[in-house]
């Protein structure tokens, strides 16, 4: 299994533990990640808010860099995925635009590489038995809720429905393979407030607060997510919540189950420290 790999800016900074755990887990599972040569930022929500052309040209530069490899592009971050999928969709559906971009970047767009989320690859490409075979420390007794947020599974026009946009199941399936106990809850696809984290922190506090409270009410030990922005918002907006709920990346829990040594480093990065929970479950 070989993929082009687009980490995105946050996996080198605020979500460094997601970056580390993604690389370690993929390595352990035999998933080869070929990092895109000299990749640039996708533009996130700022480019499409202010500049519709830039919102397409920035991710198109990244797309053009993977044409030679012809392997699907895997992205851990939901926001990067949304932007790169939108740019890819435009290339596939607008021939005039494609021609213009091919001239701009002096590269032919082949289209063999499809943008994919890391969760999609781990849940739909990797056979469950292959994952199960690598589990050394099953996450027995760990009650989780899977949190998808928005752009990981929406809009269906861009995601091709790799998971159901209203009732996604792939993360639960992976967690069950790891031995955890995913719980049903109602907030899996609610938005955390995303990019308003800095400029309208009050809005994010309300939206993320409600999600964390929902996880609390469902009786979850932790929230499992697959997006740096979601993780940061949920992790940081727990004021006034009776019981703080650690917010872990899916890859971190896979790393714990696979007994990967790097995990001590990752788990130290969280605001709500997950280590006491894991210790209590015998998973330190």
Partner 1 sequence: MKRIGVFICHCGINIAGTVDVKRVAEAIRDYPGVVLATDYMYMCSDPGQSLIRQSIKDEHLEGVVVAACSPAMHETTFRKASAQAGLNPYQTEIANIREQVSWVHQQDKEAATQKAIEHIKTIVEKVRYNESLIPLALSLVKKTLVIGGGIAGLQAAIDIASAGYPVVLVERSNRLGGHVAQLSGVYVNFDAARDLLQSKLRAVQENPRIKVFLQTEVEELGGYVGNFTARLKHTADGQITYSEQAFGAVVVATGHSLRPLAMFGEYGGGRYPDIIDALTFERMLAPDGPTGGQIRRPSDGQVPRQVVFVQCAGSRDPEHHMPYCSKICCMYTAKQAALYRQRVPDGQAYVFYIDIRSQGRDYEEFVQSAMTQHDVLYIRGKVARLYEEDGKVIAWGADTLTGKPIEVEADLVVLATAIMPAEGAVELAQRLRIATDEHGFFSEAHPKLRPVESLTAGIYLAGTAQAPKDIPETVAQASAAAAKVLSLFSQRQLVAEPTIAYVDEELCSGCGLCIPACPYQAREMHPWKHKAVVHEALCQGCGACVVACPNKACKLRNLTPGHVLAMMDAYLAEV
Partner 2 sequence: MATQATVSVAHTATSSATPAARGTLRVDPTFLRTVETLSHENIRLCYYCLKCTAGCPTAYAMDYGPAHILKLVQLGQKDEVLRSKAIWLCVGCETCWTRCPNGISAGHVMDALKQMALREGYAPAERRVLVLHRQFLTSIRLFGRVHELSMLALYKLLSGDLFTDLDLGARMFLRGKIPILPERIRGRAKIQQLFKRQARGQG
Q: Which residues are at the interface with partner 1 (CB under 8 A)?
A: 164-167, 186, 214, 217
Residue 43, contacted partner among partner 1, partner 2, none, CB below 5-8 A by kind: partner 2
Structure-token pair, residue 185: 């809850």
- Shortest Å distance, C-beta 132 to partner 2: 32
15 interacts with, out of partner 1, partner 2, none, CB within 5 to 8 A per kind: partner 2
**Contacts (CB under 8 A) with partner 2, residues 86-145:** none
> Which of 96, 103, 133, 198: binder of partner 2 (CB under 8 A)?
198
Q: Is 57 among the residues that bind partner 2 (CB under 8 A)? A: yes
| Alpha helices (runs of H) in 136-227, residue ranges in sequence order | 156-159, 170-177, 196-199, 201-218
Give the DSSP letter of residue 50.
H
CA dihedral 180, 271, 22, 35 (to 10 degrees): 160
The long-range contacts involving 198-205, CB below 8 angstroms and separated by at least 24 positions, are 204/233, 204/237, 205/237, 205/239
**Is-contact 218 183, C-beta < 8 A?**
yes
Smallest gap from residue 213 Cβ to partner 1 (A) = 11
Exposed / middle / buried, residue 154 (Cβ in 10 Å: 0-12, 13-18, 19+): middle
User: Should residue 186 be labelled a site residue for partner 2 when binding is judged by CB under 8 A?
Assistant: no
- DSSP 8-class letter at 39: -
247 binds partner 2 (CB under 8 A): no
Tell me which residue has tokens 């928005």. Answer: 150
The number of CA neighbours under 13 Å toward the Cβ of 170 is: 24
Residue 16 near which of partner 1, partner 2, none (CB within 5-8 Å, type-dependent): partner 2
The one segment of 26-34, 41-49, 139-147, 175-183 that binds partner 2 by CB under 8 A: 41-49
Output 54 or 186, the one with its CB closest to partner 1: 186
- Contact segment (CB under 8 A) with partner 2 among 12-20, 110-118, 132-140, 219-227 equals 12-20
Asked whether the beta carbons of 224 and 217 are under 8 A apart, the reply is no
The number of residues that bind partner 2 (CB under 8 A) is 55
Least CB distance to partner 1 at residue 238 (A): 20
Our CA dihedral for 85, 201, 242, 147, rounded to 10 degrees, sits at 0
Interacting partner of 164 out of partner 2, partner 1, none (Cβ under 5 to 8 A depending on kind): partner 1
The verdict on 40 binding partner 2 (CB under 8 A) reads yes
List the beta bridge partners of residue 248.
224
Q: Which residues bind partner 2 (CB under 8 A)?
A: 9-10, 12-16, 38-41, 43-54, 57-58, 61, 82, 149-151, 154-157, 165-166, 190-191, 193-196, 198-203, 206-207, 236, 268-271
């Amino acid at each position: 299994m070989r993929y082009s790999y687009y980490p995105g800016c946050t996996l080198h900074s605020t979500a460094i533990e997601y970056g580390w755990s993604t690389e370690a887990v993929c390595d352990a599972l035999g998933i080869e990640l070929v990092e895109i040569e000299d990749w640039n930022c996708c533009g996130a929500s700022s480019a499409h808010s202010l500049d519709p052309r830039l919102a397409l040209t920035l991710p198109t530069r990244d797309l053009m860099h993977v044409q030679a490899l012809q392997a699907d592009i895997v992205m851990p971050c939901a926001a990067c995925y949304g932007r790169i999928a939108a740019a890819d969709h435009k290339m596939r559906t607008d021939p005039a635009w494609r021609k213009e971009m091919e001239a701009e970047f002096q590269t032919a767009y082949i289209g063999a590489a499809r943008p994919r989320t890391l969760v999609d690859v781990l849940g739909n490409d990797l056979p469950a038995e292959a994952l199960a075979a690598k589990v050394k420390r099953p996450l027995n007794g760990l009650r989780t809720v899977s949190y998808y947020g928005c752009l990981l599974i929406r809009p269906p026009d861009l995601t091709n429905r790799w998971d159901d946009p209203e009732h996604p199941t792939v993360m639960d399936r992976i967690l069950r393979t790891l031995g955890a106990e995913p719980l049903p809850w109602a907030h899996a696809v609610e938005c955390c407030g995303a990019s308003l984290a800095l400029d309208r922190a009050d809005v994010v506090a309300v939206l993320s607060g409600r999600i964390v409270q929902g996880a609390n009410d469902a009786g979850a030990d932790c929230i499992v997510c697959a997006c740096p922005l979601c993780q940061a918002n949920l992790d940081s907006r727990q004021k006034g919540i009776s019981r703080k709920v650690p917010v872990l990346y899916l890859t971190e829990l896979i790393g714990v189950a696979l007994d990967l040594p790097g995990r001590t480093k990752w788990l130290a990065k969280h605001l709500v420290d997950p280590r006491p929970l894991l210790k209590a479950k015998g998973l330190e």
